[in-house]
Amino acid sequence: MGPQHPMTHGLWTLKVKVDGETVVDTVPDLGYIHRGVEKICESRDFTKITTYCDRLCYASANTWAHSYIYAAEDLLEVEVPARAEHIRVIAVELQRIASHLMWLGAFCPDIGNLTAFVWCLREREMMMDLLQELGGSRLHYNFPRIGGVKRDLPIGFAMRARAKLNLFLDRIQETEQMLDESTVFLVRTQGVGYAKPEEMVNHGVTGPNVRAGGVNYDIRWAHPYSVYDELDWDVSVERPSIKGADCYDRYRVRVDEMRQSARMCLDALDKMPGGAETHYSEGDPMILTKARERAEEGKTGFHHFEDSRGESMFYLAGGGEQRGKHPYRISIRSPMFITIPYAARCMIGHKVADIPAIMGSFDPCIGETDR
């Protein structure tokens, strides 16, 4: 199933060995959009790397940009004010909702349900409007900055965000109802693609895929960063069958995650220090010049981040001639790079017609896989 294939959700090849209709062996072939981002970023300023990180996983750009920024702040020893942390949480969670909506909009046509594609894209447009107000562009925002965010909440953002998120919570119920009552969807996703949590974690799969297996592990509470430990939210866990988590569980986890993210955004707007209206406060314009002396050789910064697809991690090493200006080494851990071979292994024993369902339910995004 070659690079240009409507099922693959991205550019990669899956070589499948079949015996009749049953899948016997699979070999994924990645690297079709390997851009060498790690090498390019070795000669880019710390602020310029955010634009590359947006484009790593284009479906959830903000989560990757923030993942990088936390690692860069760890390397450069920069503190972030509390208000900026709240704004970051809002941006990240809105992006998580948009990413899951894109996933659902791409997953359902594979199952055969084209209505969900149009409905999910419509909700996603709502989220992208909110993100456009924050970040300025529709898809790649370059939103977080070292030491804070690009700019404060626009005037009226809180009102629009609350209205749109409440509308979204109603509409997602409609979409979920349509899918849960659709026999075709249920038959195609239940009982397909079993995966057990211990095996998943051993393979390196994390995130919603593990939570679908019945364990409530989430980096946002396990290794807390930002203000997640002060917000009011629950971890979305499913209760799988004995054989493991199937595609239906993974779908349910993501829909529930969307609801929790909406709840987190509304809560962050309520708990914002300084109020949710625009509140101009002086940042520190010399923050990066001061940082030049800090990122010398031997200093490293890394950060595990709960991305929409799993656990993403950035590792930055300082040193070299351009210390303080460019990172010496930037290493990116992509959850999908590890999940795709695992998902390919889950398919063995199922029929060829189950391949889109299994692959889609693991939510592949090839941009982050082939950095």
Partner 1 sequence: MKILEEYAEESAQQVVDAASTRWGGAGLDAEVRHHKSGMKRPYVFINCPKNHWRAVAKWLRFEMGADHCSMITGTHWPEGSDEKKWEVVVHLMRMNVINPPERGGWTEQVIRDPSILQDNDVPMEFEISISIPDTRNPTVQSVQEVWMGADWNEKETWDLVGIEFEGHQGMRRVLQPHDTPVGFHPLQKEHKIRYHDSEIMYDDPQGFGRKPADDGKVK
Partner 2 sequence: MSDETQNYAVFNSQALIDTVGDSASAGLEASRLKKFISVLGGRFFNWGQRKSLFPLHLGIKCCALEMAAAGGSRFDAERFGVFFRSSPRQCDVMLVNGPISKKFADPIVRLWEQMPEPKWCIAMGECAISGGPYYQSYNILEGVDTIIPVDVYIPGCPPRPEALIDGFQHLRKKIMRIGTTPSTVRDDDAPIIVGDQ
Using CB under 8 A as the criterion, which residues of the chain lie in contact with partner 1 when the complex forms?
30-31, 34, 36, 38-40, 43, 70-71, 73-75, 77-80, 196-198, 200-206, 210, 213-217, 221-226, 228-229, 233, 237-242, 297, 300-304, 311, 313, 315, 317, 319-320, 328-329, 331, 333, 337-338, 341, 370-371
Q: Are 263 and 233 in contact (CB under 8 A)?
A: yes
* Residue 40 interacting with partner 2 (CB under 8 A): yes
148 binds, among partner 2, partner 1, none (CB under 5 to 8 A by kind): none
Distance of closest approach, residue 7 Cβ to partner 2, in angstroms: 9
Distance of closest approach, residue 115 Cβ to partner 1, in angstroms: 32
Complex with partner 2: residue 74 or 370, whichever CB lies closer: 370
Complex with partner 2: residue 22 or 43, whichever CB lies closer: 43
Residues from 152 through 211 that contact partner 2 (CB under 8 A): none
Angle at 62 between CA 56 and CA 63, to 5 degrees: 80
Give me the half-sphere count of Cα atoms (radius 13 Å) on the Cβ side of residue 176: 17
* Residue 3 interacting with partner 2 (CB under 8 A): yes
* Residue 15 interacting with partner 2 (CB under 8 A): no
Q: Are 19 and 304 in contact (CB under 8 A)?
A: no
Q: Are 154 and 278 in contact (CB under 8 A)?
A: yes
Query: Residue 143 carries which DSSP code?
Result: -
* Residue 35 interacting with partner 2 (CB under 8 A): yes
Distance of closest approach, residue 185 Cβ to partner 1, in angstroms: 23
Max distance between CA atoms of the chain, in angstroms, equals 67
Give me the half-sphere count of Cα atoms (radius 13 Å) on the Cβ side of residue 371: 23
Q: Is 178 helix (H, G, I), strand (E, B) or coil?
A: helix
Distance of closest approach, residue 333 Cβ to partner 1, in angstroms: 4
Distance of closest approach, residue 321 Cβ to partner 2, in angstroms: 18
Pairing of strands 329-333, 22-29: unpaired
**In whole angstroms, what is the distance from residue 97 CA to residue 107 CA?**
15
**In whole angstroms, what is the distance from residue 274 CA to residue 259 CA?**
26
**In whole angstroms, what is the distance from residue 311 CA to residue 205 CA?**
8
Binding site for partner 2 (CB under 8 A): 2-6, 9-11, 31-37, 39-40, 43, 51-52, 55, 58-59, 102, 105-106, 117-118, 121-122, 124-125, 138-140, 367, 370
